[in-house]
Structure 1
């Protein structure tokens, strides 16, 4: 067997393992979020009408599920916590954080403008339904993205999935593959909204683009804190805009952009 054939076979296997890890993460969230649904069954049919405690618990436990899936994989494969690239960033690392925040904001602003200019449809994810018009829940989401959302997603999809792919493909090929997987993970969420196929495709494309940015930050620094910090700050910025739109009853054109950005956040 040639070296190229062996590499292709390894890449296929590594990708299948990566897809399996993502699926395992989704399955884990179905288990970890059960206490929230037991606390308030309204989460099933009318999440915005559920208690704030139940909604908060569901969001927290959802991301705990992702982290748990990654931790189980590291323990099962013997990689352990030594595999986790968690350390305080250098000055260079913090520059990447700042650059990542700026680039991600610019990417989503440009994407939103293009969507409106080209009149392309996009669909919301379940976060919008969960928050409703509850400003307090928006503020809680800012806390959640810093302590649960960004750390859990970056840990699983960057430090486990993307890094696992390094064994078979280049770092930047791994960024693309991991980002595709991350986008596809959101497929059931957007389809549940019963949206047109084009709207789902557009939304997943935006999620993919954002994921590439955070994956690139990790590939460049080999430090999980960098994409976590950029991801958390970016999501907090989006929720902050949404809070201000509700707080001051901002009318067009600002709310349309805020909603577009928020609907495509791809948490």
Structure 2
């Protein structure tokens, strides 16, 4: 229970830090390309800052991160394809059952094709590294001290849903269905991290997944 509280506290801290850093930019710059880019950078930085502060103060071991081996590269590609398949399946279910799937971040960048390209690039340099560092490198690693790996992976996945579900729009069934995507992504990334013990592998898989979605939206929407 203490480990879960710590994990939840880190998620809340990351959200608060990101909000405090990014809100002034929305107030001053609105939804311009520069303001949105800076706000996203500062918001995502909240994950890295929260994780780093906790790790620096209470954790003695280091986060394992090295260049992926060829075998790890295969796992990375397979995980990326699996996550893309899950996202496609969820989207198809939403269409079949006429469930409205909406996201606040998509609404903010709607009509800004350049922003899609910026988000694809940020996925590699900030979004995936910051989120994977906090959720896999810090939270999952902390939970695994107190529970079995499978339980730690699932618990981390539930925590991973929280910051993503906050930005979902629509009715409860839409939010629930859409939440299965980050939950599944977190489970896949958690298993991947546990298997290879190298944070760079889930970072790259997460980044590739995000970038493919953004580039697909750019090509099909603009």
**Fold agreement, TM-score > 0.5:** yes
CA–CA distance in 2 between the matches of 1:109 and 1:37?
Answer: 32
Unaligned runs of 5+ in 2: none
The match for 1:173 is 151
Q: How many residues align?
A: 222
Partner of residue 65, structure 2:
86
Q: What SS does structure 1 have at the residue aligned with 2:79?
A: helix
Equivalent position SS for 2:99: coil
Q: For structure 1, which runs of at least 5 residues remain unmatched after alignment?
A: 1-11, 43-49, 248-267
Deviation at 1:182, TM superposition (A): 0.7
Q: Could you say what secondary structure the match of 2:146 adopts?
A: coil
1:47 maps to: none
Out of 178, 183, 191, the residue aligned to residue 203 of structure 1 is 178
RMSD: 1.5
Q: Which has the larger radius of gyration?
A: 1
Tell me what 2:124 maps to. 146
Query: Scaled by the length of structure 1, what TM-score is found?
Result: 0.79
Q: How does 1:104-115 map to 2 (within 5 A)?
A: 104-115=83-94
Change over 3 Å in CA distance of 1:78–1:165 after alignment to 2: closer
Partners of 2:66 and 2:75 in 1: CA distance: 14
* Pair 1:219 & 2:194 matched: yes
Using the alignment, how far apart are the partners of 2:127 and 2:102 within structure 1? 18
CA deviation map 1:148-205 (0-9, x unaligned): 1100000001100111101011112111000011112333222xx3x21111111112
Distance in 2 of aligned mates of 1:134 and 1:76: 41
Deviations 1:1-49 (A, max 9, x none): xxxxxxxxxxx21111111111111111112214523531x3xxxxxxx
Give the corresponding residue for 1:21. Answer: 10
Q: Residue 207 of structure 1: CA displacement?
A: 1.9
Contact 1:66 1:153 in 2 (8 A): yes
The residue aligned with 1:128 is 106
